[in-house]
Structure 1
Amino acid sequence: MGRMETGTTLGEFLRTRRGRLSPEDLGIASYGARRVPGLRREELARLAGVSVTYYTRLEQGQSHQASESVIEALARALELSDDERGYLHNLARPRRAHPRTAAPATARHGTRQLIGSLNVPAVVVGMRTEVLAWNPLGHRLLAGHLDPDAPDRSDRRPNLTRMLFLDPHHRDLYPRWENSTSCAVASLRLAVGRHREDIELAALVGDLAMKSEEFATLWAAHPVAEHASGPRHLRHPEVGELTVELETLVLADEPDHRLLVYSAADESPSQAALQLLGA
């Protein structure tokens, strides 16, 4: 199941964020040589207003009763982003006694009908980045080498994160692959924080860590950010290079599902490329 199941994820995250802060930047006098960069435990504890012993137990996974106020104080001291702050609070929540396996997700009929009516690429993904449905343009843009009906079979569903690291055809779609993988792992971290009890999500992380050294390295760094919108630069095997704008919509009746919509600027070469792909 990978690191996600060891119970030390909270401590690992705190250590990585402690390590990126400079005492000088925070106005802390630094004495003596430091074996590792960043704040010492006692410095962070002092900034957050908690005892060194308490913080050490929290970082070492020996305490699971951190209050909301303590977690918020640590988030302020560590200067976390909004995404990182939410992730930290999720990690500090008590976990269920037993992991669970959710039933395979499905895209609602109305959602399928909606994306079928769009003239831009659209994809519906579940909380594990598995593809639940796509319209013809979405299929051709992201995975034309796969069976268009693959999302309809839960045992063969494409997974966007898995494809990014393990499918050479999908990997070639991203000329800025390193940046794309960083974004993907940072978003997956958020999903893990929200669904720590999900067995299949843990299995996805473990499988990717075993099969991809790049994924394992990125995962260990604990990037945390929601990359739900913005430009995506692609190199498509049929229509060449193009830049599309991604917008991610949360579906009201299925809050763990996301609708990914890709568009291009009017009268741009990228729009012409999408139209050619659709033709």
Structure 2
Amino acid sequence: MDVRTELGEFLRSRRARLRPEEAGLPAHGGRRRVPGLRREELAQLAGVSAGYYTRLEQGQSPNASDAVLDAVARVLRLDQAERAHLYALARPERRPVRRVRPERARPGVRLMIESFGDVPALVMGRFLDVLAWNRMAHALLAGHLGFHTPDRPGERPNVARLVFLDPHTRELYADWPRKARSTVADLRLISGRHPGAPALSSLVGELSLGSPKFAGLWAAHAVGDCGGTTRAYRHPLAGGMELMTEFMTLPDDDGQRVAVFNAEPGSSSEAALRLLAGLV
């Protein structure tokens, strides 16, 4: 994935979703040749020349100032996650070339998720690989896979791959389309933080070929941070449940996150988790 191409496609997708009248421009009759705002209209509203904005959209302005990026974000009505993505694409971080080693969860992090007992918890790598999970997270999300697969880098489950290519996972989520959208939006945000990463490019290529749904969502350039949420599950052994998911970024581990799944105390979902705990 070329970061300049990504920047242009992202900005064009954001322009296309904004009608001129929403941006305070007069609405003229007749069909417009392009959907949403034209480049020159966005440039005018952001207070920059049309030529400068065109160069920005083409990835030819790596030194764009905070004022310019903030003005473009304001006109396009970007949310916090989209604004962060814009900055990441407009100013790609120059990472030193180094040998890529398989990611691992630190021993202390592994002990932490194991200490959660009957609360499902797992560790995700920077590109959504499952690096470790406790018995409950394995039983909740992927009991059809071997428990020790995260310990083998070549066989590790990947959250995005499970969501789009694994039929068991598709059945697990009661609102699978919502889960699919949030997974792609999270992966888009990650791609801005790690431009050109071979492992990520390979994953996106595999998912695009294997899932037309993924390909369509990826082309839409939706961006979103994977924050706390509540999801409904249809577990094949424990039945239906609603679980609250919280994510904790590990500051010393280059994008690794811990996901923890909890049920409302006293709810039927808590009872379903207890039932699942008795089966593992």
Under TM normalisation by the shorter chain, which class is it? over 0.9
Determine the structure 1 residue equivalent to 2:82: 84
CA distance in 2, matches of 1:101, 1:74: 37
Distance 1:20 1:99, change over 3 A: farther
CA distance in 1, matches of 2:251, 2:87: 23
Kindly indicate whether residue 15 of structure 2 is the aligned counterpart of residue 25 of structure 1.
no
Q: In 1, are the aligned partners of 2:16 and 2:36 still within 8 Å (CA)?
A: yes
Distance 1:254 1:62, change over 3 A: closer
Offset, 1:255: 4.2
Offset, 1:232: 1.1
Determine the structure 1 residue equivalent to 2:65: 67
Q: In 1, are the aligned partners of 2:3 and 2:92 still within 8 Å (CA)?
A: no
Determine the structure 1 residue equivalent to 2:41: 43
The one of 12, 15, 39 equivalent to 1:15 is 12
CA distance in 2, matches of 1:155, 1:27: 52
Q: In 2, are the aligned partners of 1:122 and 1:135 still within 8 Å (CA)?
A: yes
CA distance in 2, matches of 1:72, 1:31: 28
CA distance in 2, matches of 1:62, 1:175: 44
Distance 1:99 1:16, change over 3 A: farther
Q: In 2, are the aligned partners of 1:101 and 1:200 still within 8 Å (CA)?
A: no
CA distance in 2, matches of 1:40, 1:153: 49
CA distance in 1, matches of 2:260, 2:171: 20
Offset, 1:101: 5.9
- Amino acid in the other structure paired with 1:5: D
CA distance in 1, matches of 2:92, 2:148: 39
Distance 1:106 1:168, change over 3 A: same
Over residues 217-260 of structure 1, what are the superposed CA-to-partner deviations in whole Å (9 max), with x where a residue is unaligned?
A: 00010010112211011111111111000000112332411000
Determine the structure 2 residue equivalent to 1:126: 125
Determine the structure 2 residue equivalent to 1:174: 173
Offset, 1:21: 1.1
Distance 1:168 1:101, change over 3 A: farther
Kindly indicate whether residue 155 of structure 2 is the aligned counterpart of residue 156 of structure 1.
yes
CA distance in 2, matches of 1:99, 1:219: 27
CA distance in 2, matches of 1:94, 1:201: 15
The more displaced of 144-153 and 26-35 is: 26-35
Give the 3-state SS of the residue equivalent to 2:231 in structure 1: strand
Percent identical residues: 51
The more displaced of 26-35 and 227-236 is: 26-35
Over residues 163-210 of structure 1, what are the superposed CA-to-partner deviations in whole Å (9 max), with x where a residue is unaligned?
A: 100011111111211111000000111111111132101211111112
CA distance in 1, matches of 2:99, 2:82: 26
Over residues 1-31 of structure 1, what are the superposed CA-to-partner deviations in whole Å (9 max), with x where a residue is unaligned?
A: xxx2373110111111111112112221133
Q: In 1, are the aligned partners of 2:45 and 2:75 still within 8 Å (CA)?
A: yes
Paired residues in the alignment total: 276
Distance 1:181 1:21, change over 3 A: same
Give the 3-state SS of the residue equivalent to 2:271 in structure 1: helix
What does residue range 261-276 of structure 1 map to in structure 2 within 5 Å? 261-276=260-275
- Gaps of at least 5 residues in structure 1 are none
Determine the structure 1 residue equivalent to 2:210: 211
RMSD: 1.7
Offset, 1:95: 5.3
Q: Could you state the TM-score of these two structures normalised by the residue count of structure 2?
A: 0.93
Determine the structure 2 residue equivalent to 1:201: 200
Over residues 106-156 of structure 1, what are the superposed CA-to-partner deviations in whole Å (9 max), with x where a residue is unaligned?
A: 111111111111120001000100000000000000000000000000010
Give the 3-state SS of the residue equivalent to 2:232 in structure 1: strand
Offset, 1:66: 2.5
- Gaps of at least 5 residues in structure 2 are none
Distance 1:100 1:40, change over 3 A: farther
The more displaced of 26-35 and 198-207 is: 26-35
Over residues 49-77 of structure 1, what are the superposed CA-to-partner deviations in whole Å (9 max), with x where a residue is unaligned?
A: 11111112222344444333221211111
Q: In 2, are the aligned partners of 1:98 and 1:197 still within 8 Å (CA)?
A: no
- Amino acid in the other structure paired with 1:269: S
Q: Could you state the TM-score of these two structures normalised by the residue count of structure 1?
A: 0.94
Q: In 1, are the aligned partners of 2:3 and 2:195 still within 8 Å (CA)?
A: no
